[in-house]
Amino acid sequence: MKAVVNVFLKAGVLDSQGKAVHHALESLHFNNVSNVRVGKQIIFNLDESDEQKAVTDVTKMCEELLANTVIEDYTIEFVK
């Protein structure tokens, strides 16, 4: 299966890049935009048939490496 991990700064932690993108969108006259967040996506194949084990493994990867939980939140999705 394929794992898709999204990492974003936590709500409450100022996202300067999101703010800059928001300003740029406004300068293009998109005045209906709010709450822009810039994050990163990490995609990889996971050779694992046990779904529970896959969730446990990827959660551990996020906690230990893929996200810095002092400032970032993450979401995990699986695509078959």
Separation CA 39–CA 36 (nearest Å): 10
Least Å from the CB of residue 49 to another protein: 27
Which of the ranges 25-33, 49-57, 68-76 carries the binding residues for another protein, by CB under 8 A? 68-76
Kindly identify the residues of this chain, within the stretch 15-44, that bind another protein according to CB under 8 A: 16-17, 20
24, 41, 25: which is closest to 33 by C-alpha?
25
Q: How far is the CB of 59 from another protein (least distance, A)?
A: 17
Q: How many residues bind another protein, per CB under 8 A?
A: 11
Alpha helices per DSSP H over 1-80? 16-27, 51-61
